Structure 1
Amino acid sequence: MNTLQQHIKQKEFSKLYLLYGEEDYLKKRYKDSLQVAIISDDLTMNYSYFEGKNIDVIEVIEKAETLPFFNDRRLIIIENSDLFLVQNSLADRLNTLPKSTHIIFVEKKVDKRSKLYKQIKKNGTITELNELDNKKLKVFVASLLKKDNKKVTENTVSYLLDKTGTNMLYIQNEVEKLICYAYDRDLITKEDIDSVCTEQIEGKIFQMIDAIVVKNKDTALKLYYDLLELKEKPMSILFLLSRHFKILLQVKDLSKLGRDKYTIAGKVGVSPYFVGKYIGQSNKFSVDSLKDNLYLCNQAEEDVKTGRQNDQLGVELLIIQFSNN
């Protein structure tokens, strides 16, 4: 990210950029910043945008080989194309492009073995943009609030992130709701968050597991009914419960091996922000109890699929069984 910021500040640009990873907010932010810096507001004659998996590579090449009109630069943005996952002829043509042409690729996934990736690594700038860690997410939230002269405690920020998850676009939307709700008040409170912020389903699953740990059947069932009211399907909830127990089992094993939270996050496929919570929950279960719960999830799924049990009642009985074990 520092390289991109330096290019934008100094207005010295690579011919080729690749922005990839899971964090859409950061990809959009740097894509937009590069776009403005490279061609300013010239979004007609010297700008082309391509999106999707059915991009015509020949058309891209034709646009890229065209010299700019009344401008020093031409910009092409290619987004969500999967060009880094399939064979294509684009990599062979990038070496012959005019110096005035700049191309920005924005992708979620790439194959680092692909010819196109290697070409950009050799002749351009590649930046991976994934979820921020706990500390940086808190700074992000505080900075959004500060722009509107709002204040917040660190505990309240943590409370917000527990509800929203780590997707920065979603966090931004929820913070905007908080700013409007607080209106002329300076301090954002937990009560504000409870009033206007929508909790992600994963957050309720965490709470449900917490209730199961302490055998609080009523709370676990209330959370289940809340999810049903939000139009979540019983089988989707069952899938998330099963996934959660699998993650707890993996986290427990990796934690015993002394792996740090970033290693655990990478191996398990979760945000580093939530690893501490997973470790805390996993410590409250034995390995055998986690395996038993996974077996019960699989059994409940089979009962529903074979018609032996209604889906809504089946998951309800499963939660009761978890809470009683």
Structure 2
Amino acid sequence: MDIKAAIKEIKRGQIGPLYLCYGTEKYQMREFITLLRDNLVEPDNREFAVVHFDLTETPVDLVVEEAETLPFLVPRKLVIVQANPMFTAGKEGGKVEHNTDRLLSYLGNPAEHTVVVFLVNAEKLDERKKTVKTIKTAGQVLAFMPLGAAELVQWVVKEVERRKCRISSAAAEALIASAGVQMASLVAEIDKLCLYAGENGEVTEEAVSQLVARTTEQNIFAMVEDIANLRLDRALGIFYELLKQREEPIKIAALIARQFRIMLQVKELGSQSYSQQQIASQLGLHPYAVKIAGEQARKFETAKLKFTLAELAQLDYRMKSGGIDKVLGIEMFLLRLGAS
């Protein structure tokens, strides 16, 4: 079952006894847990009807005992378990001893009065484990992965509309370009922008530019974009702004090198007919970052990207060994790159 279908069932009151939520998109996972809690337990009863465990600190036996114990004054209770060690590769809980057979027995016959949600902050489950195989049969396994580039833009538009404001796709992209791809950060910025726009107001690109401070990584994205479009004055302007923010020039050079390395990897994988999602998975990046890198990479020949990376490696060595002033070194690099 996918997340949308699970949400529809929960809103209809059809809540199962077992859920396994895994993935790297923590914000979506938290939103799902909130929805589940709100549809299962009244606000006044949450103090004693919602229980949290972490299997890196607590034996799974205690989780099973809690799940089997009848709820107090409510028909059903919610048990939320941070459960990486039981469903992923590696040691199960480190110093904590777990009775896996006890958990398997419970998964095979879960209590009707308890809803247990296992949370796994990992991209993949260990399909070899009995716990994974059993819960796939007995419960619902939901994957919370980063949205694709187009999906993320649409998500921003819908979040703005939920707050009774409106935003264009271009402004939504500008917001992502400034705030990054993490949903929690985007929500905070959306709240601020909608408050500024007012009810039924519009969140414009100008408002995004004025109110949303770019992260260092997003500034590097913008700097490379300006270089690719021969806007050297703007690229240098971003560099000087980063210096005002006390960013270390060696760190700036490393982030520029990282972006060019990503561009080269995206270009090479794209030439092998990899999809955007496949490239994102292969490189461990958000699909939106892959989209931006792909657009930037199209403006450079593969040989130029490789040459630039070699140049950056040499610049890194010279800066660290005192062979060149750090600020001057990056200035000269940007000037050469913009002129070539």
Q: TM-score range by the shorter chain?
A: 0.7 to 0.9
CA deviations on 1:3-50 (whole Å, 9 max, x unpaired) are 321331232322221112122221111011112223333223332112
Structure 1 letter corresponding to 2:313: N
Cα distance in structure 2, aligned partners of 1:313 and 1:213? 21
Offset from partner CA, 1:39-79 (integer Å, 9 cap, x none): 33322333211247333434323322322222222321123
User: Residue 84 of structure 2 contacts residue 121 of structure 2 at CA under 8 Å; is this kept in 1?
Assistant: no
Name 1:212's counterpart in structure 2.
Answer: 227
Contact 2:194 2:201 in 1 (8 A): no
Q: Distance in 2 between matches of 1:82 and 1:164?
A: 32
Q: How many residues of Structure 1 are paired with residues of Structure 2 in the alignment?
A: 325
Which one of the candidate residues 62, 72, 76 is aligned to 1:73? 76
* Residue number among 18, 21, 28 corresponding to 2:20 in the alignment: 18
For residues 1-325 of structure 1, what are the structure 2 equivalents within 5 Å? 1-41=3-43, 42-51=45-54, 53-79=56-82, 81-85=84-88, 86-87=91-92, 89=98, 91-94=100-103, 95-96=105-106, 97-109=110-122, 110-113=124-127, 114-183=129-198, 186-309=201-324, 311-325=326-340
Equivalent pair of 2:76/2:115 in contact (CA under 8 Å): yes
How far did residue 118 of structure 1 move? Answer: 2.5
Question: SS in structure 2 opposite 1:92?
Answer: helix
Percent of residue pairs bearing the same amino acid type: 27
Q: Is the 8 A contact 2:77 2:113 kept in 1?
A: yes
User: CA 1:80–1:92 in 2, change beyond 3 Å: closer, same or farther?
Assistant: closer
Structure 2 length-normalised TM: 0.84
8 Å CA contact 2:149–2:291 kept in 1: the answer is no
Cα RMSD for the two superposed structures: 2.6
Deviations 1:72-126 (Å, cap 9, x if unpaired)? 2232112375443333635422323533222112222143233332232221111
Q: Using a 3 Å threshold, how does the CA distance of structure 1 residues 92 and 314 change in structure 2: closer, same or farther?
A: farther
Give TM-score, length-normalised by structure 1: 0.88
Q: Unaligned regions of 5+ residues in structure 2, if any? A: none
Report if aligned partners of 2:260, 2:305 keep a CA contact under 8 Å in 1.
yes
Answer yes or no: is the 8 Å Cα contact 1:148–1:179 preserved in 2.
Answer: yes
Per-residue CA deviations over 1:258-277 (Å, capped at 9, x if unaligned) read 33322222223332234333
Contact map agreement 1:67 1:100 (CA 8 A) in 2: yes
